[in-house]
Structure 1
Amino acid sequence: MSILLRDQVGFGGSCHWCTEAIFRSLRGVTQVEQGWISPSSEPEAFAEAVVVHFDPAVISVETLIEVHLHTHSCTSVHSMRSKYRSAVYTYHAQQAQAAGAAIRGFQKDFPSPIITQVLEFGAFRLNKQEYLDYYYSNPDKPFCKVYIDPKLRILLDRFAEVVDQK
């Protein structure tokens, strides 16, 4: 088996603007594509999500999953879950196994059961250009201040060692 120098994984669970800002802020993340992902099992069931391209020599998929679980409501069942599906979208069997093991391992951090699903990636639709890189293009907008800044504070407080200080 060859070692991938770059890999990718999808994440969904909250607004894709929030999720994009979180993963864009991490060392080892080389690109974040923001839009909608559907699992291979439901090709028409798109939900807000991001595709994270990363260098596994710098940041592991397990660390990315831990960040994801701690920066969205990974235990909350609510009426908007079809739009904001809590999921890790994997690209190969080894990644799916690692994701499942990571979620089970991080359950100890949460008082309620994690509802985040491990799903095989199906399809991706990119958001409109005007909404890409939303936070870093509009950090002073009210949405960013109210919803994204608190998530970035969690990132800085809990995961400072993997935050890209640039």
Structure 2
Amino acid sequence: MLETITLGGGCFWCLEAVFQRVVGVSDVTSGYMGGYVDQPLYNQVCQGNTGHAEVVQIQFDPHQITLNDLLDIFFVIHNPTTLNQQGHDVGTQYRSAIFTESSAHAEVARAKIAALAGDYSAPIVTELATAAMFWPAELEHHDYYRQHPNQPYCMAVVEPKLQKFLQHFAEKAK
């Protein structure tokens, strides 16, 4: 049986590109969570007025990849110590966040954050919250990196995160 976790770590194009390549992950959908506007649109979320984070909703087979392993990847490919920012992407929509579907997932996430706390020179500011309504992003944002690998943002921001994943987790790559 598949399980679901929703992660925010900056631009969803980066997270999507990485998690699509993880063994045991069956689906990755870019979208929005954690805000107060129904059916938000990309332009609204980018303005920072909706309260939503750009996220990816990940469906995975826990017999092939554990939530703990997914969170290891998540914490390597983004900076969990910068409040509402990843690189040049600034605003609450780019916050580090873990939205859990169960108390068991929340416990794993809390334990992971606690275990990693000493590994960073600044406090981990990753939001841990119960999953709320997930709003899929518009279709042009799905499979963005695969469709636009030569787009300047993809080359400058997405590709390095993908390479970091492959460097640290080659054994977990499809």
TM-score when normalising by structure 1: 0.89
Corresponding residue SS for 1:123: coil
- Tell me the residue number matched to 1:131: 141
Matched with 2:18 is 22
Following superposition of structure 1 onto structure 2, how do residues 1-166 of structure 1 map, counting pairs within 5 Å? 5-38=1-34, 43-44=36-37, 45-78=51-84, 80-164=90-174
Give the C-alpha shift of residue 13 in structure 1.
1.8
Is the Cα–Cα contact under 8 Å of residues 139 and 145 in structure 1 kept in the other structure? yes
- Alpha carbons of 1:78 and 1:85: their partners in 2 closer, same or farther (altered >3 Å)? closer
SS of 2:167's partner is helix
What amino acid is aligned across from residue 16 of structure 2 in structure 1? E
Secondary structure of 1:102's counterpart equals: helix
For this pair of structures, how many residues does the alignment match?
157
Q: Where does structure 2 lack aligned partners over 5 or more consecutive residues?
A: 38-50
Aligned residues of 2:9 and 2:96 also touching (Cα < 8 A) = yes
Superposed CA RMSD: 1.4
Following TM superposition, the consecutive aligned residue runs of length 4 or more in structure 1 with deviations greater than 6 angstroms are none
Unmatched 5+ stretches in structure 1: none
User: Percent identity over the alignment?
Assistant: 32
TM-score (norm 2): 0.85
